[in-house]
Structure 1
Amino acid sequence: MKTAPTFRHLTEEADLHDAFELMRELRPHMTERAAFLAQMARQFEQHYRMLGAWFGTELIGLAGFRTLENLLYGRFVYVDDLVVAQAWRQNGVGAQLLDSVRREAAREGSAHLVLDTGLHMPLAQRFYFREGLLAKGMHFVQPLQSEDARHG
């Protein structure tokens, strides 16, 4: 990569329209733009933030995260979403996004950065290990309603 990307938070609806296609690389079940925009509005109300990496006018990476607090970690930043456009992977964009989130979290007084990744994603796991994140446990999930009710 000849020049570094620029980073800024996505706050406008036009930015979110740009984010929809890129987020689908990570969340392919998000098939409707309107549903994505509605989901983002709800998450923003819950203090979710989305940081974008831009190369010129092209959105090439996203990190969605929120600040939380619990008894295990104290105040921490949870990374919900981290995705880099397929054509831009292996260029350090993901590491730069993660570094930006880390710096923001540290400035705000967070003690930890936490994220989950699927057991079926060994390349993502290798990336996180390289970035200094350590596997501390397993994440368990139980659906509480039918698939049709959740996405209907």
Structure 2
Amino acid sequence: MNSISIKELTSREEILEAYPVMQQLRTHLTEEAYLDLVMEAQEKDQYKLAVLLDGDKIVAVTGFKPMITLYYGRFVWVCDLVTDEAVRSKGYGEKLLSYVEYWAKKHDYERIALSSGLQRKDAHRFYEEKMDYHKASYVFKKDDL
């Protein structure tokens, strides 16, 4: 590994640089749709987009936002977490999710929550075995409203 760093992205240019890695998780999003959604979420929903860099190369991306609900209290919702498929299993996802945990503690949030697709068995193993997360609920959704 080269020099590892984590950076929060705020400018349009920075956000676009993360698209090739994010697109590996969010395959349905065009570059334009991705940029529009990130910019709107940052403006309206406190969405944070952060990357883990190995040297100057983006190798992992996360999107997260602070929330407050009656069920979870004050928590951070991890909306997106992906490591570039070319460099998986090198500890990048662990470092980036640990950063989100650090950010949450620093800002007085009590817990982290996330949703993971049913088919993503490797991700589930990562969350449970590597990161000590546990299954808390099912997520239901309704499309085409």
Coarse TM-score class (shorter-chain normalised):
over 0.9
Q: CA deviation at 1:3?
A: 3.3
| 1:139 maps onto 2:139 in alignment | yes
What TM-score do the two structures reach when normalised by structure 1?
0.90
Q: CA deviation at 1:72?
A: 0.8
Alignment RMSD, CA only? 1.0
The separation in 2 between residues aligned to 1:34 and 1:137, in whole angstroms, is 33
Q: CA deviation at 1:51?
A: 1.0
Identity of paired residues, percent? 29
What TM-score do the two structures reach when normalised by structure 2?
0.95
In structure 2, what is the equivalent of residue 82 of structure 1?
Answer: 81
| 1:95 maps onto 2:94 in alignment | yes
Larger Rg: 1
The separation in 2 between residues aligned to 1:81 and 1:20, in whole angstroms, is 12
The separation in 2 between residues aligned to 1:16 and 1:144, in whole angstroms, is 28
Aligned pairs for 1:50-89 (under 5 A) are 50-89=49-88
Q: Which runs of 5+ in 2 are unaligned?
A: none
Letter in 2 for 1:100: Y
Q: Secondary structure at the match of 2:78?
A: strand
- Cα displacement string for residues 40-67 of structure 1 (whole angstroms, at most 9, x for unaligned residues): 1111011000111011221111110000
In structure 2, what is the equivalent of residue 30 of structure 1?
Answer: 29
| 1:13 maps onto 2:20 in alignment | no
The separation in 1 between residues aligned to 2:3 and 2:74, in whole angstroms, is 31
Letter in 2 for 1:64: G
